[in-house]
Amino acid sequence: MTLTPERARGLLEERRAILSGHFELTSGRHSDIYVQKARLLEYPETAMEFAGEIASWYPDVEVVVAPAVGAISLGFAVALAAGARAIFAERTDGRMELRRGFALEPGERALLVEDIVTTGGSAREVHELIRSAGAEVAGVAALVDRTTTPLDIPLRAVVRVEAVSWEPAACPLCARGVPFDTPGSRLLRGSALSSEASSNEGAAGVRPWPG
Ligand SMILES: [Zn+2]
């Protein structure tokens, strides 16, 4: 079964992982889209559907490498779908490393799996880690591509989300008088919302909006 970008996007919106509305980001800019990064993989059945799609793009993968923490569950799911091993890299003293006995063999065919790519910083580091181990990079796959500039790694994503934002004075939603939304307003308020947003590379941070 093929998972089209439209169906994937629809699933993420249905699961409230991608929200449409009017949001004020922690940067002060306004946006019409908010990605709740942690919720991308909240439903295992949906995650497996994404994983099966990603696995179908890359034949003969032997090991899936995911940057911790966000991509660990997707990496595991892709490895399950691909019949590959699942390992993850984690940041120690500022550097991405394989720890816990995880290792790559020279010549091994490795797929890098990331949940959401914005700047591509972590993905680029893990890409280099795989190459420096002498393994072959089968590709770089993500669930969501939010990049704003082209990357120097071969990224392929299930869903592309344009990261459009505006200065408040130029915001077309403000101009139309559209009220602000807060993501998961019943569940995420105050400090819970702030900590979720700040720990989140991919999601645009959202400040709670009074009223
Ligand atoms: Zn606005």
User: Tell me, what CATH number does 164's domain have?
Assistant: 3.40.50.2020
**Number of domains the chain contains:** 1
If you average pLDDT over residues 64-77, what whole number do you get? Answer: 96
Q: What is the mean pLDDT of the chain?
A: 87
Rounded to the nearest angstrom, the distance between the alpha carbon of 23 and the centre of ligand 1 is 7
Rounded to the nearest angstrom, the distance between the alpha carbon of 184 and the centre of ligand 1 is 18
Q: Could you tell me if 131 and 146 are in contact, meaning their C-beta atoms sit under 8 angstroms apart?
A: no
Tokens representing residue 116 in the block: 């959401």
Rounded to the nearest angstrom, the distance between the alpha carbon of 21 and the centre of ligand 1 is 10
Which residues, in sequence order, are CB contacts of 103 under 8 Å at separation 6+? 133
Domain that holds residue 104: 5-198
Rounded to the nearest angstrom, the distance between the alpha carbon of 171 and the centre of ligand 1 is 5
Cα–Cα distance, 137 to 135 (Å, whole number): 6
| Predicted pLDDT of residue 125 | 96
| Predicted pLDDT of residue 2 | 77
Is 205 within the bounds of a domain?
no
